[in-house]
A and B are shown apart, each in its own frame.
Chain A
Amino acid sequence: MIGALRRRGVLGINRRNADYTLAWNQRRLYPLVDDKLTTKRLCQQAGIPVPKLLAVAQTHLESRRLLDKLEGVPAFVLKPARGAMGNGILVLDQRDGKLWRGTRPYSREDFEYHAAGIISGLYSLAGHSDAAMVEEKLETHPALAPLRNDGVPDIRVIVYRGVPVMCMMRMPTRLSDSRANLHQGAVGIGIDLVSGRAVHAMLRGHRVENSPDTGVPILGLVLPEFDVILRTAVAATDQTGLGYVGADVVLDARLGPVILELNARPGLAIQLANQAGLLPRLDAVDARLGPKGAPPVELTLEERIELGRSIAARLSR
């Protein structure tokens, strides 16, 4: 079994930590991606689209005034700037001056308490104090909307040394409580880098073909604007200086592809969704760009995307 995984080039946690995240992601750069506010600012400076920031609260006092700033906003998302794994995210609608979470009313006190919890560091990595941020709520692109009941699917692109090497879409389900976390029951959909076509779909370690919520077939779906999705993902990671990043892109109905967040320790489940190991692709990138420390091979963004696609095409044949 170990031999089989090795032959398919499956990347394990130990190796990812040592040879990729530790080797290519400098610790001092982590804050750029661990803090969503910083990531957002970086992207905005580079002209990369991101969801609009509506309000921020750094202190408990500010958290009481958050709702005042949100008057008249029909839907928004409250989240911790330094949260992990989608924890602490609250999606709310606002009608007639009242808050709604789905179909149920949500009190202003609950909102303030949740924001205070975020600021205290309840959801942040290592429990440091955090900022509560409110973003506009994204709307799922009509091409993807039929696949799910609720929640916003996101598209994860692994970018290694500026080259996109693997891509998957995470589709929230009722099982995952509308969250795009695979271990909670979201569907992981492997996306072919060349065509943007859904080639595999996994739900909790089992293959599926149709959406568990709506029954709409998943396989064969082609992501709209896939070229832009890849460009957005790679351009965003270029801003960080990190060498091994997972870029999370959401295909919004109005804005098109926007950067939701970047991750310096991207998970390995993407290999399951794609039914392919990461190692051969990472090795192929190293072969083209040379070993670490050697004079860098300068490639344009287009050339790097082309490189990633040709590697994927060659290896998945």
Chain B
Amino acid sequence: MHRNVFLAGALLVAIGLALFSVKTLQYGIPVAPTENLGPWQVELRISARGDGARGSVRALLPSTEGGQVIFDERSSSDRLQFSIRERGGNRVGVWTGWLQDVHEVVYQFRVQSHAVSTPLPSQGPFPDPPRALRSVWGQPSPGIPSDAPQVKELLESLRLPTAADQPARIRTIYSFVSHEIATVRSASSDALLTLARREGNGEGKERLLVTLLRAAGIPARLAHGLGLREGTAPDELLWAEAWVAEVWVPMSAVHDFFETTPDDYIVLGRSNVPVVEATGVSAIGHRFQSLREHLRPDEIANLLAPDNRLFAWLSLYRLPVTWQAVLRVLLLVPLGALVVALFRNLVGITTYGTFMPVLIGLALRGFPLHLGLALVAVVIAIGYFARFSLERLRLLMVPRLSIMLCFVVLAVTLFALTGQDTGMSSLFAGALLPIVILTMLIERVYITTSEEGTREALLRAFWSVLVASAIHPIFRSTHAEYLMFSFPELVIVVMGLLVWIGGYMGYRVVDLIRFRELAGGEIPGGSAR
């Protein structure tokens, strides 16, 4: 290695490591995730379009209660006035103003949540609910037609236990909705239709549950919440809560829980109206995003705002959740490139396309390796066959490649359909686009096969898989993701290492194998050094 190259590399490594050590030593930022089940970072993004009229956008905001602690709330209001109000026991974020064109408002929070169990009291007597409570949560209301004759009829047919034994009544009603009403995604969300047809969608079933409870004299309400999941957007959920002996007991006939909300379910509020609604707008849409952190809340605070203005400004943790999600992946790419450089310049193996293994690693990030490779193999096999058939038609290259692209898109679409049926749909979200890159891979495999023989093509495929397999665990590693995202300066270290690899003038492993004949006469590894 030339001296200048060594020094340049050393300089980069030193700069990166210096920043890294200041952050870890002085500001106490941990070098590894400390908490496997840390808090969640959640973002609500609402787009509202207006025609210049005055209006408002309202959203249910979570509060600290039960098993959830809300902290680090932030919002951006995009030309509107933002305020938080108390309405019917809920916190409601209100954005008001003249709505002109598209406004995009964002509300972010972090939440630490754990499951809390609220069992039904087992022993009576059970006090009657206070009048005030009954007047809010015990009466028929829009969407909760607890005074409808069909509802009364049904309750009679259920032969409910005595009114004094509220827990038993709740169990009977819950069990009826849970077992006798089918959950059909395309079915109605209306309580009475759900009852009449014995099938309803998630909302329909929960509404029916609340309706029946109220009709049976038990105060009940709908709770809006989020089911947070790693690697995908949270589910917006609805469930029921019933009041017994001073406590609200959660239950869901759709998500199959009773008394205990599952882990990572958080409550946004209790309301009959949707989570997000607006007046004076011509169109509105909203979407939740979430990310799980792997740190304790105090450590996150440190990362968010170390008491150094520069580091605080440089902290990626203050970015919107969607950007963070992208950057978390992007910052892993240099590590993939490093692996490729190691394999190519120190070992000397040839892969299909220089960064193809990185792209494949990225595409397969959401899959376990064996599944991902199987997917790639199947797509390539289909594509190869298609390519083989196309050869006879003698098409020119660009249209032919475009046809291949269509084949790949169709193949992936087919996978998505089967994935939906096998419950793997969530894994697909991120993988779709990069897989299209496989088109070029198919063409390369085909040409290598016809030009240099099947053996060479398979060998190269083997090396590509090997490199991709080396990269894949890095891309999936929570630790690597945490490290690169919390310490983006490590990219500079990677650059330094790459300078060193680029300046390595010694033999590659393949040189040694190729020229072993020329080392003959000397015992390998013996006197050779």
**Within the assembled complex, what's the spacing in Å between the Cα atoms of A1 and B517?**
10
Q: Tell whether, in the assembled complex, residue B508 and residue A12 are in contact, meaning their CB atoms are under 8 Å apart.
A: yes
Q: Tell whether, in the assembled complex, residue B398 and residue A5 are in contact, meaning their CB atoms are under 8 Å apart.
A: no
Partner of A2, one of B397, B398, B452, B529: B529
CB neighbours (8 Å) of B527 from chain A are: 3
**Within the assembled complex, what's the spacing in Å between the Cα atoms of A12 and B528?**
17
Q: Shortest beta-carbon distance, A80 to chain B, in Å?
A: 12
Query: Chain A: which residue is nearest B450 at the CB level?
Result: A87
Q: Tell whether, in the assembled complex, residue B394 and residue A2 are in contact, meaning their CB atoms are under 8 Å apart.
A: no
Q: Shortest beta-carbon distance, A212 to chain B, in Å?
A: 18
CB-based closest 8 A-B pairs: A120-B397, A4-B519, A3-B528, A12-B507, A12-B511, A1-B524, A4-B522, A15-B505
- With A12-B506, A116-B396, A122-B447: A2-B512 Cβ-Cβ less than 8 Å: yes
Which residues of A pack against B, CB within 8 Å?
Answer: 1-5, 8, 10, 12-15, 18-19, 60, 87-88, 109, 113, 116-117, 120-123, 184, 202, 205, 207, 268-269, 271-272, 275-277
Partner of A120, one of B398, B511, B521: B398
**Within the assembled complex, what's the spacing in Å between the Cα atoms of A123 and B450?**
11
Q: Tell whether, in the assembled complex, residue B518 and residue A10 are in contact, meaning their CB atoms are under 8 Å apart.
A: yes
List, sorted by A's number, 16 A–B pairs whose CB atoms are closer than 8 Å.
Answer: A1-B512, A2-B507, A2-B529, A3-B528, A4-B518, A5-B519, A14-B506, A18-B503, A113-B394, A116-B394, A120-B398, A122-B397, A184-B453, A202-B517, A205-B517, A268-B511
Query: Chain B: which residue is nearest A206 at the CB level?
Result: B517
CB neighbours (8 Å) of B508 from chain A are: 12-14
Chain B residue total in the interface (Cβ 8 A): 32
Query: Chain A: which residue is nearest B503 at the CB level?
Result: A18
| Residues of B483-529 contacting chain A, CB below 8 A | 503-508, 510-512, 514-519, 521-522, 524-525, 527-529
Query: Is B451 interfacial (CB 8 A cutoff)?
Result: yes
Query: Is B473 interfacial (CB 8 A cutoff)?
Result: no
Partner of A277, one of B451, B504, B518, B524: B518
Q: Tell whether, in the assembled complex, residue A5 and residue B397 are in contact, meaning their CB atoms are under 8 Å apart.
A: no
| Chain B 382-425 per-residue mask, 1 if CB under 8 angstroms from chain A, else 0 | 00000000000010111000000000000000000000000000
**Within the assembled complex, what's the spacing in Å between the Cα atoms of A109 and B516?**
47
Q: Shortest beta-carbon distance, A174 to chain B, in Å?
A: 14
Q: Shortest beta-carbon distance, A310 to chain B, in Å?
A: 23
Query: Is B188 interfacial (CB 8 A cutoff)?
Result: no
Partner of B452, one of A116, A184, A275, A276: A184
**Within the assembled complex, what's the spacing in Å between the Cα atoms of A69 and B63?**
84
Q: Shortest beta-carbon distance, A188 to chain B, in Å?
A: 11
CB neighbours (8 Å) of A122 from chain B are: 397, 447
Q: Tell whether, in the assembled complex, residue B507 and residue A109 are in contact, meaning their CB atoms are under 8 Å apart.
A: no
Q: Shortest beta-carbon distance, B478 to chain A, in Å?
A: 35
CB neighbours (8 Å) of B524 from chain A are: 1, 4
Partner of B515, one of A5, A60, A87, A88: A5
Q: Tell whether, in the assembled complex, residue A14 and residue B345 are in contact, meaning their CB atoms are under 8 Å apart.
A: yes
Q: Shortest beta-carbon distance, A136 to chain B, in Å?
A: 24
Q: Tell whether, in the assembled complex, residue A272 and residue B397 are in contact, meaning their CB atoms are under 8 Å apart.
A: no
Q: Shortest beta-carbon distance, A185 to chain B, in Å?
A: 10
Query: Chain B: which residue is nearest A202 at the CB level?
Result: B517
Query: Is B348 interfacial (CB 8 A cutoff)?
Result: yes
CB neighbours (8 Å) of A117 from chain B are: 397
CB neighbours (8 Å) of A14 from chain B are: 345, 504-508
Q: Tell whether, in the assembled complex, residue A121 and residue B507 are in contact, meaning their CB atoms are under 8 Å apart.
A: no
**Within the assembled complex, what's the spacing in Å between the Cα atoms of A120 and B511?**
34
**Within the assembled complex, what's the spacing in Å between the Cα atoms of A60 and B506?**
46
CB neighbours (8 Å) of A19 from chain B are: 505
- With A1-B516, A184-B453: A121-B505 Cβ-Cβ less than 8 Å: no
Q: Tell whether, in the assembled complex, residue B512 and residue A5 are in contact, meaning their CB atoms are under 8 Å apart.
A: yes
Q: Tell whether, in the assembled complex, residue B348 and residue A13 are in contact, meaning their CB atoms are under 8 Å apart.
A: yes
CB neighbours (8 Å) of A109 from chain B are: 394
- With A2-B507, A10-B511: A272-B517 Cβ-Cβ less than 8 Å: yes
Partner of B396, one of A4, A60, A207: A60
**Within the assembled complex, what's the spacing in Å between the Cα atoms of A19 and B504?**
11
**Within the assembled complex, what's the spacing in Å between the Cα atoms of A184 and B528?**
31
Q: Tell whether, in the assembled complex, residue B515 and residue A272 are in contact, meaning their CB atoms are under 8 Å apart.
A: yes
**Within the assembled complex, what's the spacing in Å between the Cα atoms of A88 and B508?**
30
- With A4-B528, A18-B505: A271-B515 Cβ-Cβ less than 8 Å: yes
Q: Tell whether, in the assembled complex, residue A1 and residue B525 are in contact, meaning their CB atoms are under 8 Å apart.
A: yes
**Within the assembled complex, what's the spacing in Å between the Cα atoms of A211 and B340?**
40
Query: Chain A: which residue is nearest B516 at the CB level?
Result: A1
